[in-house]
Amino acid sequence: MLIKEYRIPMPMSVEEYRIAQLYMIQKKSREESCGEGSGVEILENRPYEDGPGGSGQYTHKVYHIGKHIPSWFCAILPQAALRVEEESWNAYPYTRTRYTCPFVEKFSIDIETYYKPDTGNQGDVFSLSSAEKRQRTVDPIDIVKDYIAPHEYLVEEDPKLYQSIKTKRGPLSEDWIEEINQSPGQNPVMCAYKLCKVEFRYWGMQSKIERFIHDLVKKKKKHKYTKLNTHRQAWCWQDEWYGLTIEDIRQLELETQLALAKKMVDEAQGKTRSRSRSRSRSRSRSRTSRLIE
């Protein structure tokens, strides 16, 4: 098992981040879904009690990932395995998310998150055992300084350039974290502490796959739970979410769930029509061939 703890400071309050995160998730679910072969299905989105973190919101989603993983990974999996299920328990400011693949029993990603009003300087928010601490790697993420590949870079999502019209916050300097630490209490700040455990218990592939998944989670834009890009977006989309209530967010989530369900149905119907036309053309060619003979 590979254990990493990501620490992601954000220049907003814990309360603001709750809205920013939920808004970002539903928006990216829409953007990254293009039908049956790729995208997100939302199966459940409901309140829960007496679960992880106490009471909160439970979601159950399915990700179709065939278009978003490398060919060497696809080569070891059947087509039916290119589907990952996500269960999430959001008892903010604590969340737990678990990813599994029904066709790969020995694969799982488990993510626990605490949201704290600091810049990421707490040593052990998860109360880890001695063994877990030895396995853990702490990986801080800076939404300003961390590298963004040229093909992923967008000017409108650059915190060094973005300034909010509504809040007047930004642009951020490269030393924004140090500046907040030097003037405590002057500006809103919070940190997402994410403990990510990846397990892929297949001999010969375990280390390569576990490291690939951690790299994907941290860097790649096409993955639903990217850490760097999604947090840059949460900051640079603040004029879209600032001022929304949790009731507004739940309505947006419902609209997104219905839109994604329709998109999946439309894609499936399109494939059925395509196969039907293909069979019709095949029968037509066969009849023509017999007439010629």
140: domain CATH number?
3.30.530.20
What CA–CA distances, in Å, run from 154 to 45, 52, 150, 222? Answer: 31, 37, 9, 14
| Peptide bond just before 184 cis, omega within 30 deg | no
Measuring CA to CA, how many Å separate 245 from each of 20, 26, 63, 124, 234? 11, 15, 27, 32, 16
Range of the domain at 186: 2-292
Token code pair at residue 34: 């293009």
Alpha helices by DSSP H, listed for 32-172, are 71-74, 130-135
Phi, psi of 50 (to 5 degrees): 55, 40
Q: What is the pLDDT of residue 120?
A: 97
Q: Which two tokens stand for residue 65?
A: 């990932």
- Tens of pLDDT, residue by residue over 244-258, are 999 999 999 999 999
pLDDT value of position 223: 36
Q: What is the pLDDT of residue 74?
A: 57
- Report which of 272, 238, 234 is spatially closest to residue 21, judged by C-alpha positions: 234
CB atoms < 10 A from the CB of 192, how many? 23
Q: How far apart are CA 6 and CA 109, in angstroms?
A: 14
Comparing C-alpha atoms, which of 270, 275, 256 is closest to residue 39?
A: 256
Q: Kindly list the distances between the CA atom of residue 136 and the CA atoms of 113, 126, 131, 141, 219, in Å, as whole numbers in the listed order.
A: 15, 11, 9, 16, 19
* pTM exceeding the 0.85 threshold for the entire prediction: no
pLDDT at 136: 94
pLDDT (tens, 9 = 90+) of the chain, 293 residues, equals 789 999 999 999 999 999 999 999 999 888 876 655 567 888 999 999 999 999 999 999 988 766 555 555 556 566 666 778 999 999 999 999 998 887 666 778 899 999 999 999 999 999 999 999 999 999 999 999 998 889 889 999 999 999 999 999 999 999 999 999 999 989 999 999 999 998 876 655 555 555 656 565 554 433 333 688 899 999 999 999 999 999 999 999 999 999 988 887 877 676 666 666 666 666 666 665 555 56
Q: What domain count does the chain have?
A: 1
Strand order in the sheet with 136-140: 39-51, 54-64, 83-91, 94-101, 104-116, 190-200, 2-10, 136-140
The 3-state secondary structure of 203-225, one letter per residue: CCCHHHHHHHHHHHHHHCCCCCC
pLDDT tens-digit map of 129-144: 999 999 999 999 999 9
Q: How many helices (H) and strands (E) does the chain have?
A: 8, 8
Return the structure tokens found at 165.
């019209």
Output the pLDDT for position 13. 98
3-state secondary structure of 253: helix
